[in-house]
Amino acid sequence: MRRRLYIPDEVKANIRAHLETAIQNTVEGFDSASEDEDTMTGHLGARLQVRVQRVMVPRPNEIPGEWRWAIKYYKFRGRGPAATERFLGADGIFELTLM
């Protein structure tokens, strides 16, 4: 049975702020990508990737305490014979970890 993942509002707001900044910075770099979508995906992956971030949740009606989150980006090889991207149809995977 599917259930909604619980994430405190403070944590969601912190992640959202990071995503918005990373996306905006990537969009601003569009002209330098020379019309290459793999370059843009790489720019986005580099900007989204972030080490462990710490967020304090003080409200007792939430699960209080320190929450941590991080984003990793795993790029797939897209050129040459037997390129992973060709088989999967994806440039890479973004992994959000909540701790």
pLDDT at site 34: 65
CB within 8 Å of 45: residues ≥ 6 apart: 73, 75, 92, 94
For residue 33, what pLDDT is reported? 65
What is the structure's pLDDT at 1?
79
Classify residue 16 as exposed, middle or buried by CB count within 10 Å of its CB (0-12, 13-18, 19+): exposed
| DSSP letter for each residue of 66-97 | EEEEEEEEEEPP-SSTT-HHHHHS-SEEEEEE
Q: Which residue type occupies 86?
A: R
pTM for this entry: 0.81
Please, are residues 70 and 49 in contact by the beta-carbon 8 Å criterion? no
What stretches in the chain show pLDDT beneath 70? 33-36, 84, 86
Q: Which of 25, 76, 77, 78 is nearest to 48 (CA)?
A: 25
